[in-house]
Amino acid sequence: MNRLPFILILFLCFACKTDKKNEQKNTSNEKPNIVFIITDDHAYQALSAYDNTLIETPHIDRLAREGMLFKKAFVTNSICSPSRAVALTGKFSHLNSVRDNLDVFDTTQVTFPKLLQKEGYETAIYGKWHLKSEPKGFDYWEVLPDQGHYYHPELLTPKGEIKTKGYVTDVVTDKAIFYLDSLRDTSKPFMLMYNHKAPHRQWWPSMHDLEDFKFKKIPVPETLFDEYKTKSKASVEAEMRIADHMALSADNKVAPEILEKLNYEEFLDWYKGAYKERFNRLNEDEKVQWQKVYGPINEDFLRNSPKGQALTLWKYQRYMEDYLGVIKSVDRNIGRLLEYLDEKQLAENTMVVYTSDQGFFLGEHGWFDKRFMYEESFRTPLLIRYPELIAPSSLNGDLVQNIDFAPTVLDVAGVAIPEDMQGLSLVPLFDGDNTNWRDALYYHYFEYPGIHMVKRHFGVRTERYKLIRFYYDTEAWELYDLKEDPQELNNVYGNADYKEVQAEMHKRLDELRVQYEDASDSLNQDWIDKDIKRLKSLGWY
């Protein structure tokens, strides 16, 4: 008897069964799912879809290959909590209750997760939240308290705080995948916010990546020793220079005993305690692995004890080794999540958004951190994959901003966008339609005085120019011609050659302040009280 047909039937039955098992599509196919990923402080300079000088991020790059990369994506206020509040509400900081990292998010506001929930979506958030109040508008949530920890992080849940074991980027991904696989209601479309703590300061890499960038010579940015010759005192007085304000202990992981032996002074003594506290979170096995890698680096530091410019260069290299190492784990874990979507055949009907809460300085102008309206901090990575509406390898060069996130998600989900959301849906840009798109961006940063001492400022950026006003305990204007001076080294405010441009930019700025209803540039008691509170918490008052 010919057994071939029988074997064939058996094989087909098995294949069908496996397919069924792997298939987790929604029963209601018409509504797309959404995965919204916000990392913390991920600079576009360290994402190879934008620039592969520093690192390869093959998994995140997939989203660009299979979707759209936004070359000119920006934030409205380059700092964590405000940026997250903007993403949720589609409104600028002066209207959404969170102007700086001290503010508590008012959860009675309308947010895109709440609107999706109302329209039948199931919503979940895992990872960084950083808005102080308890998450609202989510069916499932497990979030890091405040900034959270890299190793064995605690998580806040509806049932209280829980302890976890493992590295934060892995833990958050495990939670997100567990939600997709075991918790979610498959009869509903889902919206998952999957937010990483990484690569936030103080850049503690996972055990898998400890050695990755060690001893690799990282290219030094041209402006590492910038003297801010044409800039206002806002740059001079900011406390975020690698040379002067990056901690040898907490940031560069030199053991405090070594620093004391060599008489190195820390900008803030607090950092030494912070280093020890972070180190003590490692389990015994991890401590051994850690010392294997960082021990020789420490010994080397003890032998050579670099000073002056050599010390700045040494700190820059150490900074980048850890920062890039931390990103490796983000990339690997995003790969895991994307593979899960593939495996369960969810990729086609899911919009995946990858962005960061802001950009970051990787040594440009001598800095780390963000806050300024200068490009490295003002810009943020933005990649969107949604096969239904976006062709693979699409590039967009329009001026887009994080106020656009909420309207975009609602638009894709077919939910009405509230009139008072200030952003625009990016959906028309998905197939290149930028008719009537904005020609200028508005920005306003408030957290001053406070850590890093970046002065309050607001401004406007068009395709070619940028005008900034610093205010509060200073009064200064800066104007940049981004075409002639992409590194923003030459402030041309007051330069006769730019008289007309300057007047036009002032006009645009006034118009945008009216359009976005921002009049918040004067001193008020509420701010002064908060400034004092903030300074007290830092021990500076």
Binding region for Ca ion (CB under 5 A): 40-41, 80, 357
- Whole-number Å distance between alpha carbons of 140 and 146: 18
Maximum CA extent, the chain: 96
Instruction: From 77, 137, 84, select the one nearest 112 (Cα to Cα).
Output: 137
- Whole-number Å distance between alpha carbons of 125 and 350: 16
Per-residue binding string, ligand SGN, 117-156, x by CB under 6 A, is: -------------x----------------x---------
**Residue 368 CB, nearest distance to ligand SGN (Å)?**
8
Work out whether 534 is an interface residue with ligand SGN (CB under 6 A): no
**C-beta closer to ligand SGN: residue 310 or 538:** 538
**Residue 323 CB, nearest distance to Ca ion (Å)?**
13
In the list 62, 84, 201, 328, the residue contacting ligand SGN (rule: CB under 6 A) is: 201
Q: Which does 144 bind (CB under 5 to 8 A by kind): Ca ion, ligand SGN, none?
A: none
Cis peptide preceding 219, ω within 30 of 0: no
Cis peptide preceding 449, ω within 30 of 0: yes
In the list 197, 452, 455, 513, the residue contacting ligand SGN (rule: CB under 6 A) is: 452
Cis peptide preceding 502, ω within 30 of 0: no
Instruction: From 427, 428, 440, select the one nearest 401 (Cα to Cα).
Output: 440
- Whole-number Å distance between alpha carbons of 194 and 520: 32
423 close to 403: Cβ distance less than 8 angstroms: yes
**Residue 247 CB, nearest distance to Ca ion (Å)?**
18
The three-state DSSP-derived secondary structure of 192-260 is: EEEECCCCCCCCCCCHHHCCCCCCCCCCCCCCCCCCCCCCCHHHHHCCCEHHHHCCCCCCCCCCHHHHH
Q: Which does 37 bind (CB under 5 to 8 A by kind): Ca ion, ligand SGN, none?
A: none
**C-beta closer to ligand SGN: residue 59 or 201:** 201
Q: Which does 452 bind (CB under 5 to 8 A by kind): ligand SGN, Ca ion, none?
A: ligand SGN
Which listed range, 67-75, 179-187, 198-206, 523-531, lies at the site for ligand SGN (CB under 6 A)?
A: 198-206
406 close to 112: Cβ distance less than 8 angstroms: yes
DSSP state of 138: -
Q: Could you give the C-alpha distances from 114 to 121, 207, 410, in angstroms and in order?
A: 9, 38, 11
**C-beta closer to ligand SGN: residue 6 or 540:** 540
Shortest Cβ contact with ligand SGN: which residue?
Answer: 80
Neighbours of 401 (CB within 10 A): 25
Work out whether 98 is an interface residue with ligand SGN (CB under 6 A): no
456 close to 470: Cβ distance less than 8 angstroms: yes
In the list 80, 210, 218, 255, the residue contacting ligand SGN (rule: CB under 6 A) is: 80
- What residues numbered 483-502 form the site for ligand SGN, per CB under 6 A? none
Sole residue written with tokens 């190492």: 325
**Residue 40 CB, nearest distance to Ca ion (Å)?**
4
The count of chain residues that interact with ligand SGN, using the rule CB under 6 A, is 14
**C-beta closer to ligand SGN: residue 39 or 117:** 39
Q: Which does 365 bind (CB under 5 to 8 A by kind): Ca ion, ligand SGN, none?
A: none
Q: Which does 369 bind (CB under 5 to 8 A by kind): ligand SGN, Ca ion, none?
A: ligand SGN
- Whole-number Å distance between alpha carbons of 255 and 241: 21
In the list 34, 38, 39, 41, the residue contacting ligand SGN (rule: CB under 6 A) is: 41
**C-beta closer to ligand SGN: residue 250 or 254:** 250
Work out whether 39 is an interface residue with ligand SGN (CB under 6 A): no
Q: Give the strand pairing for 350-356 and 33-39.
A: parallel
Work out whether 40 is an interface residue with ligand SGN (CB under 6 A): yes
DSSP state of 7: H
**C-beta closer to ligand SGN: residue 54 or 80:** 80
Element (H, E) at 515: helix 499-515
Work out whether 79 is an interface residue with ligand SGN (CB under 6 A): yes
**Residue 497 CB, nearest distance to ligand SGN (Å)?**
36
- Contact residues toward ligand SGN (CB under 6 A) are 40-41, 79-80, 101, 130, 147, 200-202, 250, 369, 451-452
